[in-house]
Chain A
């Protein structure tokens, strides 16, 4: 079972470059989330989606955009990367009925130089 798959696993960007992180889940979950995790800190919610075609801001949304065109995919975009966005990014999904039980991907390690 694939679960939640994130691509790429690693990426290095220069300041000002753009990129898109892809998250795919094969569990038919309604809810999907993007988090970032910085050294020594817990996860912080960037954006989330409660269903296809809908997105909402989380705790730290600035500098990021998201799209949920298909139920199984949730994309996180950085239009103009900044060094402050160097982090590990995790995608997660959950069923509507058990929102607190989230399934996470393996993460994307992003460095912005």
Chain B
């Protein structure tokens, strides 16, 4: 599984766009990039997944450059309810794979 590196924490204000970048220099050809969101006292929730270029859904956008060694999760116009921990995962989980690692994530704090 490719190792991922993301900032420990980020601060923002309501209405701003937030970009969280994840580095994954050792990403393999078959690896997908997946982001999760976790609120306090809840399980993680899938946000978005991509392989290359740009993916957008109703919650966020995911930008992946051509070399795929990094990815950026973009949250448009954040609100207080976006305060959470965001995890970047890289890899394909198969039957022989035992180490699906979420890492410590990025703690996003949105203030009024």
Contacts and interface: CB of A to CB of B under 8 A. Distances in A.
16 contacts: A33-B100, A35-B102, A42-B101, A44-B102, A45-B99, A45-B101, A59-B99, A90-B43, A92-B43, A99-B94, A100-B32, A100-B34, A100-B49, A100-B92, A101-B34, A107-B41
Interface in B69-109: 87, 89, 91-95, 98-105
Contacts of B102: 35, 42-44
Contacts, number: 63
Given A58-B98, A99-B93, A106 B46 contact: no
Contacts of A41: 104
Interface residues of B, number: 24
Contacts of B98: 45, 56-59
Q: Which of B34, B44, B94, B104 has the most CB of A within 10 A?
A: B44
Q: Describe B's contact surface by its main secondary structure.
A: loop
Nearest to A58: B98
Interface of B: 32, 34, 41-46, 49, 87, 89, 91-95, 98-105
Interface in A20-69: 31, 33, 35, 40-45, 50, 56-59
Nearest to A51: B95
A104 interface: yes
Interface size class of A (residues with CB under 8 A): 20 to 34
Contacts of A40: 104
Nearest to A9: B41
Interface in A69-112: 90, 92, 94, 99-107
